[in-house]
Amino acid sequence: MNFTLLMKIDYTVYWIVAIAYVLVMITYVIRPNGLFKLDWIAFGLHTALVVFRWIEAGHPPYQNLYECLSFFAWSGVLAFLLVKWRGNLPLRTAGVVIFAIGAAAMFYGLTREARPIPLSPALDTVWFSWHIPPAFASYAMFCAAFALKVEDVVKKGAEPNYDHYWYLLILFSFPLLTFGIFSGAGWAEEAWGTYWSWDPKETASLVTWCVYAAYLHAKRKQTMSGWPSTTLNFLGFTCMIFTFVGFNWVAALLDLPTFHAYA
């Protein structure tokens, strides 16, 4: 098939998914758990887009920021829908939050370069698949945990299962983030000859790890299991978002040297 046609299909579906997430977010405003399974339909369309992009690009779809933002939104929505399905909870506020994040990521992706390019030598390695998926899986669960905590705060702790699920999400995502950092260090050693160079993004990732480590510690202390742990949850989410996308803006603004800026 003509490459230009493939790009048009890719870009058109990307737009449709972004708009669909806005519509799903609105349905969650209207009623708990949305309307007519539109969340699952939008996610299914997004899944088709991820698969199509993988085939189109010839490599996993998380090379440039256009792809990474889509993969980030897809991962976050997947984590949320699995919790919704498994927990059978009313998730109106959490649904608004997670689909707002997904829509924002998709629309931001539309401002970036969409054309797929071959993997550079530094990316064309087994570490490309060992480092990025665990990192995105942790990001996805952090997003879902944040959305559930917002729901819990809005409902003033009326439903104890919210606390159970957002704690489990962070408990499972923390080892994935840890593995992502260690595999990233292995990748850095292979690519640049050093495991850790205090690159700004490496440092931001370490700060995120420390905040979530503090959160898990706080949850085990009775005196810190209320607002202190909630604050750490929100702070950890903020650090994660900064590590993923906010770092790009700061690095460009301050002209920081880094190997980790997305195109």
Whether residues 168 and 104 share a domain: the answer is no
Containing structural domain, residue 198:
154-263
Q: Is residue 21 part of a domain?
A: yes
Whether residues 43 and 114 share a domain: the answer is yes
Whether residues 164 and 214 share a domain: the answer is yes
Q: Is residue 3 part of a domain?
A: yes
* Per-residue pLDDT of the chain in tens (263 residues, 90 and over written 9): 566 888 899 999 999 999 999 999 999 999 887 787 899 999 999 999 999 999 988 888 888 889 999 999 999 999 999 988 887 777 889 999 999 999 999 999 999 988 888 877 777 788 888 888 999 999 999 999 999 989 988 887 667 677 788 888 999 999 999 999 999 888 888 877 888 888 778 888 999 999 999 999 888 776 666 778 788 989 999 999 988 887 766 666 666 666 555 55
The count of structural domains within the chain is: 2
Q: Is residue 138 part of a domain?
A: no
Single residue among 70, 102, 118 that ends a domain in this structure: 118
Q: Is residue 148 part of a domain?
A: no
Q: Distance between CA atoms of 136 and 145, rounded to whole angstroms?
A: 14
185 touches 246 (CB < 8 A)? no
Single residue among 118, 141, 165 that ends a domain in this structure: 118
> What pTM was estimated for this model as a whole?
0.90
Q: Is residue 142 part of a domain?
A: no
173 touches 145 (CB < 8 A)? yes
